[in-house]
Structure 1
Amino acid sequence: MTERELFDSYNKDVYRTCYYMLRNAQDAEDLCHDVFITVFRQDWQSVEHTRAWIMRIAMNHCLNLLKRNQTQRDKQGQVQWLHEQATFSIKSVDTIVVEKTAQEEWEELLKQLPDKLMAVVTLRYIGELSMAEIAETLQIPVGTVKSRLHKALKIMRKKLEHKNNLWLKGENQFGTH
């Protein structure tokens, strides 16, 4: 495999992971570039699990940037949902609005998680890595991956339930139910 083939094979996964971790297209592009510079400076041909190794490098770059710019995460803008989605069918306006709202809700919940939990959720649901791949990527035991994923989903579920309860109380309060 050539460097170009390696880049073509993994750049979308790396970019997507960086984008969801950082919530900023320019930072994700810059970090994606840095990840492949790091990869190409090493003996990448001898790596056994290339995808997991590259994703570990990407995640480490993301976590390092988040640590350096902790306050930046709060200032990040909304994801360009429509720009990100590559669909072949035309969706109704209602479908697009519902999907955009769901995406914004997901992003809001995700950014409220601690970095370690956000990393596991991002790799699992955005990067579509298996538990074993996440463990290898983050260099932690599979049990820790499962525990962090469970904890993150529990936190997100509680926040959603709380939000829904507030919404229902507000609706009943005004007699619109």
Structure 2
Amino acid sequence: MRSAESSTDSAADEVLLARIGTGDERALAELYARYASTVFAFVLARTEDRDLTEEVTADVWLGCWRSARTFRHDSQVLTWLLGIAKRQIYTHTRRKHLTVIPLEDEHDIPSTADDLDTLVISSEATNTLTKALNTLPTDLTEVVRLAWMHDLPYKDIAQLMNIPIGTVKSRISRARRLLREQLRNQDA
């Protein structure tokens, strides 16, 4: 369940996007400050090199500037930005004949995850959880990272990945179960 703070942030993001749609460069700078690192990490996790990531990320922000007026308010602004990123990755990799690779090591741990919350936040715990997450099938890993790292609601993940919301829920559930099993086996 989303917190009141998240809905306030979401409303503020929509106001910024509306201002961007009128040509307000300061609003773009503010939205960039909020989400640049998230968009960059999302793209970097799916491409093979940093130069391509920088190029794609620049095109995401250009796309945001050009398309802000077309935002339909049926998702969060971050989801909309990640959708632009996903299309830009496809366009760039198709054009350059590069391969999009699955999610790679990230040094973040989920912000919410039932009993995984009990893990002590430390370098060792982060590494353990990252290794366990990386052993999951790609379809599970991507959904989990969008839900836990980017705090996207299931509805937005379903839209971004073009899958039913029930599939998102079942993938999250399966990932939790597999992660619990892996972590228990490591402790044994």
Q: Report the TM-score, using the length of structure 1 for normalisation.
A: 0.62
Q: How many residues align?
A: 143
What percentage of aligned pairs have identical amino acids?
24
Cα offsets for 1:62-83 (capped at 9, x unmatched): 6897x9154994xx6x74x7xx
**Are the equivalent residues in 1 in contact too, given 2:47–2:99 (CA < 8 A)?**
no
Cα offsets for 1:26-45 (capped at 9, x unmatched): 4795243343244445x232
1:132 equivalenced with 2:155 (yes/no):
yes
Return the match for 1:141 from 145, 157, 164: 164
Tell me the residue number matched to 1:100: 123
- After TM superposition, what 4+ stretches of structure 1 lie above 6 angstroms from structure 2? 62-65
Provide the rounded CA distance (Å) in 1 between the counterparts of 2:135 and 2:90.
15
* Counterpart mapping for 1:11-160 below 5 A: 11-18=36-43, 21=45, 26=50, 30=54, 31-40=56-65, 43-49=67-73, 50-59=77-86, 68=99, 70=101, 73=104, 79=107, 99-160=122-183
SS in 2 for 1:128: coil
Structure 1 position 22, deviation (Å): 5.0
Provide the rounded CA distance (Å) in 1 between the counterparts of 2:123 and 2:155.
31
Provide the rounded CA distance (Å) in 2 between the counterparts of 1:158 and 1:37.
43
**Are the equivalent residues in 2 in contact too, given 1:117–1:152 (CA < 8 A)?**
yes
Structure 1 position 136, deviation (Å): 2.0
Larger Rg: 1
Tell me the residue number matched to 1:175: none
**Are the equivalent residues in 1 in contact too, given 2:140–2:172 (CA < 8 A)?**
yes
Provide the rounded CA distance (Å) in 2 between the counterparts of 1:4 and 1:105.
36
Structure-2 change in CA distance of 1:70 and 1:11 (3 Å): closer
Q: Which amino acid aligns with 2:70?
A: S
Structure-2 change in CA distance of 1:159 and 1:34 (3 Å): farther
**Are the equivalent residues in 2 in contact too, given 1:16–1:126 (CA < 8 A)?**
no
Structure-2 change in CA distance of 1:69 and 1:148 (3 Å): same
Provide the rounded CA distance (Å) in 2 between the counterparts of 1:103 and 1:23.
23
Structure 1 position 133, deviation (Å): 1.8
Tell me the residue number matched to 1:10: 35
**Are the equivalent residues in 1 in contact too, given 2:134–2:141 (CA < 8 A)?**
yes
Structure 1: gaps of 5 or more residues: 82-96, 166-177
Larger RCO (CA within 8 A; separation ≥ 6): 1
What RMSD in Å do the two structures reach over aligned CA positions? Answer: 3.6
Q: Report the TM-score, using the length of structure 2 for normalisation.
A: 0.59
Structure 1 position 116, deviation (Å): 1.5
